[in-house]
Amino acid sequence: MNFDTAIESHAAWKMKLAAYLANPDHGLKASAIEVDDQCDLGKWLRGEGQKYSKSPEFSKLVSAHTQFHKAAAEVVRRADSGQNVKEEVALGARSEFAQASTAVVKALMMMKARA
């Protein structure tokens, strides 16, 4: 996986969650989303990405990635419980999801610049 692919793959989650909030059909499972080692980036972090493990950005990326999965799972849980979850609140710039997502992208960009 290259850094650009990782960033694109990660960014696609926001669109996926926005679509889910518009129609929470229980097609996404919070328990699966919360696990941070099953997505492409999570697998890369535990595999090929380990070659970057000595860089300070790597630990930031791992932490942000874990937080991202927790925040995304919480958005799905809230939608599944019938709460009226507004996209701008759940995914907007000040949300936990957006902050974790931004941290993941920043860490990936910093690692790319260093590589």
Q: Which domains does the chain have, with CATH numbers?
A: 3-114 (1.20.120.30)
- The model carries a pTM of 0.90
**Predicted pLDDT of residue 10:** 82
Residue type, 50: Q
pLDDT of residue 38: 92
34-79 pLDDT, tens digit per residue, is 999 999 899 999 999 999 999 999 999 999 999 999 999 999 999 9
Confidence at residue 46, expressed as pLDDT on a 0 to 100 scale: 94
The number of angstroms, rounded, from the C-alpha of 82 to the middle of its chain's C-alpha atoms is: 23
- Return the higher-pLDDT residue of 90 and 107: 107
Distance between terminal CA atoms of the chain?
A: 13
d(CA 13, CA 61): 16
pLDDT computed for residue 6 by the predictor: 87
Predicted confidence at residue 69, as pLDDT, reads 96
